[in-house]
Amino acid sequence: MQQKSANNTKSSRRLAFQWLSAVINDGRSVNDILSRAEVSEGVGSKDISFAKQILFGSLRYFHQIKAILDQLLEKPLKQKDQDVWVILVMGIYQLRYMSVPDHAAISETVELCKRIKKPWASGLINACLRNYLRRVSEIETKLNHAKTFQTSHPNWIIRQIEDDWPERSQAILTANNQRAPMTIRVNTLKLARDQYLSQLSQHSISAQAHPLASDGIVLETPCDVFKLPGFESGQVTVQDAAAQLVVDWLDLKPEQRVLDGCAAPGGKTTHILQRQPSCQLVSVEMSETRLLRIEQTLERLGMQCELKCSDILELENWWDGQLFDRILIDVPCSASGVIRRNPDIKLHRKKTDIAALVEIQSQILRKTWQLLKPGGKLVYATCSIFKLENQLQIENFLSENEARVADLPKSIDGKLQPSASVGLQIFPGDLQMDGFYLCGLEKPS
């Protein structure tokens, strides 16, 4: 455990409780919550940072905390008292993982009961947390044999990773519980990457150029995007380095007709326009809300393209009948490669979801392949590490369609250890990247 430090304010814990309850009890995603978050007046940036630390940490180690609480509680709390259970999760997280003094973690956690108008639970929470401190060694010795506790992952994800990548499974599970770096992409239409690195240095922001993504920069410490010089004027945008590799696979040429088939949140749309401003880009997104965010990103970066609000499979709603030179489909997936960035995936994603996702991916791949010109290239991408969604999906497609697997881009070839039977599988933490899969497919002329 880390050395204990000073206490934080009550407002930050109340905020963390509201967010965590929305994830655990209401099934909402962290991204959705934080993108819509309305913070009360008087809640400072340090309070928000502390609340986010509790939110992400409680979700990252949820399966360990749940196992501990199962040992501490004589019987499960009633459904109507799940908010009390969330408070207990927060309390155990602070005691086990944070540099908060024990007395402050306990007293402030107990205080939350009064703030949610359940003062009756104060005694329960106080006793439960103090019991944990007394029995911590006994409890952890008892639980340490269980992989769910060791890795803080649900059993089905552990088994899937072990089946797919037996030699790398432990490294993947460990990486999933680490904090993801903040990576940004320089808008090279406005300035060069080296120029922006100089700006960061002038603002005392430590960063380094990414070794693989030629427009990417990794910050030493994550920060509020609005503290980045030139963010509001479109000099940079936030995008993981693995996702930035897509444009290299597309091998874009001037004036080409290009489709971004699953466009939100817009990072790849804007990167395509950054690389080839003269391309005729059509970006399709079925969610009106997410399409609005793409529009806002385009406006901030000073770019424009043809946006279509539609399910990509419903061609009659958006396609004009003209074939494309290049197609990108970053398809809906399990998001198993970005668990470290979105730890709520471990709570929300179910094993039974995978078959339906694989079917949707297959439909999108086959439908958009019909829209590709002879001699054109389609890039299939996911933020997954599961073989069913990646190499096995492509192998199945190749068995039924005449297509050639494109060579790795020269900028990438030899810089990552090959692991997939076809395409490129990136694992969480590889060169500071998220887990990601890429495969280029060329249609015969």
* Closest of 81, 193, 202, 168 to residue 426, by C-alpha: 168
| pLDDT tens digit sequence for 23-41 | 999 999 998 898 876 555 4
In sequence order, which residues have a C-beta less than 8 Å from that of residue 198 and are 6 or more positions away? Answer: none
Helix (H) or strand (E) holding 26: none
Give CA separation, 105 vs 14, 125, 161, 187, 419, in Å. 13, 11, 35, 43, 44
pLDDT of residue 413: 80
User: Distance between terminal CA atoms of the chain?
Assistant: 61
State how beta strands 436-442 and 372-382 pair. Answer: antiparallel
Q: How many CB atoms lie within 10 A of CB 256?
A: 20
**8 pLDDT higher than 50:** no
Q: Using omega within 30 degrees of 0 as the cis cutoff, is the peptide bond preceding 265 cis?
A: yes
- Mark residue 146 as left, alpha or beta (left: phi above 0; alpha: psi -120 to 50; beta: remaining): beta
Which domains does the chain carry?
10-152 (1.10.940.10), 183-238 (3.30.70.1170), 241-442 (3.40.50.150)
**348 pLDDT higher than 80:** yes
User: Does residue 99 or residue 186 have the better pLDDT?
Assistant: 186
Token pair for residue 126? 């106080």
Q: Tell me if 279 sits within 8 A of 258, measured CB to CB.
A: yes
Burial (CB count within 10 angstroms: exposed 0-12, middle 13-18, buried 19+), residue 321: exposed
Catalytic residue among 128, 279, 383, 439: 383
In sequence order, which residues have a C-beta less than 8 Å from that of residue 175 and are 6 or more positions away? Answer: 340, 427, 428, 429
Q: How many residues does the chain have?
A: 445
Q: In what order do the strands lie in the sheet with 183-186?
A: 207-209, 216-219, 183-186, 236-238
| pLDDT tens digit sequence for 125-174 | 999 999 999 999 999 999 999 999 999 999 999 999 999 999 999 999 99
Instruction: Please report which confidence band the pLDDT of residue 76 belongs to, taking 50, 70 and 90 as the band edges.
Output: confident
Which residue type is seen at 415?
K
Q: Tell me if 325 sits within 8 A of 256, measured CB to CB.
A: yes
**277 pLDDT higher than 70:** yes
Give CA separation, 385 vs 56, 101, 406, in Å. 21, 38, 20
| pLDDT tens digit sequence for 41-71 | 456 778 888 999 999 999 999 999 999 999 9
Name residue, tokens 């880009």: 281
State how beta strands 404-405 and 306-309 pair. Answer: unpaired
Per DSSP (E only), the strands in 207-347 are 207-209, 216-219, 236-238, 257-260, 280-285, 306-309, 324-330
pLDDT of residue 442: 98
pLDDT of residue 37: 66
Percentage of the chain surpassing pLDDT 70?
96
pLDDT of residue 39: 54
pLDDT of residue 323: 98
CA distance 216 to 208: 9
Alpha helices in 61-121 (DSSP H): 62-72, 82-97, 102-115
Which residue type is seen at 136?
V
CA distance 22 to 16: 10
User: Does residue 235 or residue 79 have the better pLDDT?
Assistant: 235
Give CA separation, 80 vs 28, 85, 86, 218, in Å. 18, 10, 12, 44
Q: Tell me if 262 sits within 8 A of 329, measured CB to CB.
A: yes
- Over the Cα atoms of the chain, what is R_g? 23
CA distance 272 to 189: 12
Q: Is residue 262 flagged as an active site residue?
A: no
